[in-house]
């Protein structure tokens, strides 16, 4: 139950709460919002990381078993590795 609550609230926050301010800004300024560089990567990662678990759970007849849990842990680890790599490539070198 707690996992379903967590997944549901995170999907709502990412897909709705992030979209509404962008929609309001676009409506007020009457211009599109252009995603470049890191923002595009973050946006695509957020939407993908919200939709993939939803699709996997629905394909598994709304049951989270050990196999699905293992897949989600692997996906999380892959996200951490990719995000760390991306941050290391785009971040300035540390101050000395």
| Ordered DSSP codes for 17-81 | ITHHHHHHHHHHHTSPPPP-THHHHHHHHHHHHHHHHHHHHHHTTT---HHHHHHHHHHHHHHHH
Nearest to 45 by CA among 76, 90, 88: 76
Q: How many residues does the chain have?
A: 96
Tens of pLDDT, residues 41-96: 777 777 787 788 888 888 999 888 899 889 989 988 988 888 788 778 765 555 65
Q: Which domain holds residue 80?
A: 2-90
- Tally of domains in the chain: 1
Residue 95 belongs to a domain: no
The residues, ordered by sequence, that sit 6+ positions from 47 with a Cβ below 8 Å of its Cβ are 14, 15
Residue 18 belongs to a domain: yes
- Angle, alpha carbons 2-46-78 (nearest 5°): 85
pLDDT at 1 (0 to 100): 58
pLDDT at 95 (0 to 100): 61
pLDDT at 76 (0 to 100): 86
Mean pLDDT, rounded, for 4-17 = 70
pLDDT at 86 (0 to 100): 78
């Amino acid at each position: 139950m707690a996992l379903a609550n967590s997944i549901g609230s995170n999907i709502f926050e990412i897909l709705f709460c992030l979209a509404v301010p962008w929609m309001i800004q676009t409506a007020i300024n009457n211009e599109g919002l252009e995603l470049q560089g890191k923002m595009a990567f973050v946006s695509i990662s957020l939407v993908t990381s919200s939709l993939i678990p939803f699709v996997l759970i629905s394909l598994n007849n709304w049951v989270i078993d050990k196999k699905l849990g293992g897949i989600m842990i692997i996906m999380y680890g892959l996200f951490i590795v990719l995000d760390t790599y991306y941050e290391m490539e785009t971040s300035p070198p540390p101050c000395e």
